[in-house]
Structure 1
Amino acid sequence: MSAAVATQIDTIDPKLFRQLLGCFPTGVAIVTTNDADGRPVGLTCNSFSSVSLEPPLVLFSLRKASSLLPTFTSAGSFAINILSQSQDVLSGRFASSKIADKFEGVAWRRGPLATPLIDDCLASFECSVHARHEAGDHVIFIGEVRHMAPGATDHALVFYKGAYMMLAESLRKLVLEGQLGTDDIDEAYRALYGTLLRLACARASDAELDAIEQAVDRIEQNQGEKALPQRIEAMASFFSSIALAGHNEALQLMAKTMTAVLRERMALVIPAHPRTDVFPLRRKVVERLRARDADGAAGALDEFITALRAGATVET
């Protein structure tokens, strides 16, 4: 065998890369420092990681496009504030680009290094900057821990597949215990995906519409009883593709939650048998999307859901 082996390198799709990275649950932290005038600044981060025990080193990474990059680059220290599951509102606040003063109304104090420490976090680490490294479109900040302190005894806030795991786990429990009614779920689907379909009619690219139709193809191709897992994934892809085509990140997050509900109900609660009679209705959704007919697309979804519930079983 030749020593030289040709290696094929895949073209990495950025959206899929981000989606697959989301399969790894991460904690959520707020990284803080002071600007040149001594005012506290901070941002939400889930790239925090330990590096070394001797010496005690940790890291986080920051996008080069971040408006706070110059501030963190010029600062000699920073703090990592590990959030509890009751601090999800803080996570959203410090992640928002629309809030100028992230610390307004937030309880915090200065630590021994004068870095801002947020009250009631699970733990805090004050660090002096040990090193900085450019890596692609991010800069990696390595800090040497100088002071640390435990905080609240709550559970950690965990981010998983684009949603807080606290929320996902709560929904999963409700689904398994049968506490989410079919009528309520159908109403949520009509409201959420009806809105997304209307947005997609105005915003979706042809490639994004192709992805929706390809998901429909996969649903129809996997119709045997043994093909249920593939059919569930295809249906999840159908709704996820609609969400992406709507180009609204907040609604996409809600859609991910609804997709989790869909998977749990179909896999563990309600038997999902093939329903070829609704094939034309699902195709009608795609047809109206391609025609950029917002009312028609939302109406086709309503017809599809109504037909499903009129049957004796649930199909995906």
Structure 2
Amino acid sequence: MQAAAKRGILARGVSTKALGDSLRSVMRKVPQPVVVVTVATPDEARGMTCSSFTSVSLSPPIVSFAVRYPSSTSQLLSSSSLFAVHLLARQQVAHSVAFSSPKTQADFTRFSHHLDESGTGLPILHGSLGVLICRPESRVQAGDHEVWYGRVERMVHGLGSTRGDPKMEPLLYYESSYRSIGDEVFLDAFERGTLSFSEWTHRAHVRMAWLYITEAKGDLDEAVPRVKEGISRYNEANKERVKTGYNETITMFFLRLTSMAIEADGAAAASSDFLDFLARHPMLDDFRFIFQFYSRERLYSAEARQQFVEPDLRPFPATLDDARRAMAP
């Protein structure tokens, strides 16, 4: 029966990507707990918002969670002998967002916490439903994620104290009440038009382009319609705040440049996060870079808003080295 169903799917020509999109849509309707995993090495301590947390076994006590693979998160977990899994409370949305971004994963100063008293150095965030101190048991690569299994060695209940608050409720990722993890948090909010307008910065535009091009395996022709549709939908949802509107030339300039950077990264692109990507290609993070190629008059002309126009100060860079030379003082 299963083989027949599989043949039916293949016969209808359903692609792996289409099935993945359908799975994501279905799983959005399934409530999932949100956890932050903290780790500590002699050199650093970080927290990471993780997905797909579950209790696997009670005897022995084993839990699991998933992280994107390959990633710096996976590397850090590999170098740690213990980690702490925080089951977030409903009031801890800010924690989940902060620890989903590599830029703020090492900053614990925003949140009440203490270092584990047993000498592990693990940061323990206050206010969670509970904290599980775990020793890595095993890990399994599954598609674009890595599933980690941890044996629970002890627990810290609620608020970093010895007892939990029975009135506390879990933070769940479920449809419109909360978004998924990391880049999913950002992209889902963007696609629904609920991303805070104050966060719709130039960097956010580039991040959106990076995600769509990466999902399209570098195929710019596939990514461009999604980018344009996404911007149009977001602008419509925020039309009372949008002042300048859509500009085809600006959009395509940074899209083409982002695509060149992803292609140049090669294998490194698959294992990097967005901030790593920007660190390698800082010209993408600076909107003013475009004025090395365009005069303001040409860039903001009616023609440039409607269709892509070629630069008037210097040609569009043929290579990333050309772009870097244009950025140099």
Q: Which residue of 2 aligns with 1:158?
A: 172
2: CA distance between counterparts of 1:52 and 1:58? 7
Which of the numbers 29, 32, 38 marks the counterpart of 1:32? 38
Which of the numbers 129, 146, 154 marks the counterpart of 1:122? 129
The answer to whether the 8 A contact 2:47-2:105 is kept is no
Q: Secondary structure at the match of 1:124?
A: strand
Structure ranking higher in helix proportion = 1
1: CA distance between counterparts of 2:176 and 2:137? 31
How far residue 49 of structure 1 moved from its aligned partner, in angstroms, is 0.8
Pair 1:138–1:242, CA change in 2 (3 A): same
2: CA distance between counterparts of 1:155 and 1:60? 20
Q: Within 5 Å, give how 1:140-179 maps onto structure 2.
A: 140-151=147-158, 152=165, 153-161=167-175, 163-164=177-178
How far residue 97 of structure 1 moved from its aligned partner, in angstroms, is 2.7
Q: Which residue of 2 aligns with 1:18?
A: 24
1:49 counterpart = 2:54: yes
- What stretches of structure 1 of length at least 5 have no aligned partner? 166-187, 213-240, 259-291, 297-316
Q: Which amino acid aligns with 2:33?
A: G
TM-score (norm 1): 0.51
Q: Secondary structure at the match of 1:23?
A: coil
Pair 1:16–1:76, CA change in 2 (3 A): same
The answer to whether the 8 A contact 2:98-2:105 is kept is no
Q: Which amino acid aligns with 1:47?
A: S
Q: Which residue of 2 aligns with 1:82?
A: 87
Deviation string, structure 1 residues 212-260 (Cα, Å, up to 9, x no partner) = 9xxxxxxxxxxxxxxxxxxxxxxxxxxxx944x559xxx69x96xx9xx
Pair 1:19–1:109, CA change in 2 (3 A): same
1: CA distance between counterparts of 2:108 and 2:67? 19
The answer to whether the 8 A contact 1:78-1:126 is kept is yes
Q: Within 5 Å, give how 1:1-316 maps onto structure 2.
A: 7=7, 8-9=9-10, 10-13=14-17, 14-37=20-43, 39-99=44-104, 101-111=106-116, 112=118, 114=120, 115-151=122-158, 152=165, 153-161=167-175, 163-164=177-178, 242-243=229-230
The answer to whether the 8 A contact 1:19-1:161 is kept is no
1: CA distance between counterparts of 2:23 and 2:303? 32
The answer to whether the 8 A contact 1:79-1:117 is kept is yes
Q: Secondary structure at the match of 1:72?
A: helix
How far residue 210 of structure 1 moved from its aligned partner, in angstroms, is 7.5
The answer to whether the 8 A contact 1:108-1:117 is kept is yes
The answer to whether the 8 A contact 2:63-2:152 is kept is yes
Pair 1:293–1:25, CA change in 2 (3 A): farther
2: CA distance between counterparts of 1:293 and 1:155? 54
Percentage of identical aligned residues: 27
The answer to whether the 8 A contact 2:48-2:105 is kept is no
How far residue 122 of structure 1 moved from its aligned partner, in angstroms, is 0.9
What RMSD over aligned residues (CA atoms) do the two structures have, in Å?
4.3
- What stretches of structure 2 of length at least 5 have no aligned partner? 159-164, 180-192, 213-219, 239-301, 307-329
Q: Secondary structure at the match of 1:71?
A: helix
Pair 1:46–1:113, CA change in 2 (3 A): farther
How far residue 139 of structure 1 moved from its aligned partner, in angstroms, is 1.8
Pair 1:55–1:104, CA change in 2 (3 A): same
Pair 1:128–1:206, CA change in 2 (3 A): closer
Pair 1:246–1:146, CA change in 2 (3 A): farther
Q: State how many pairs are aligned.
A: 200
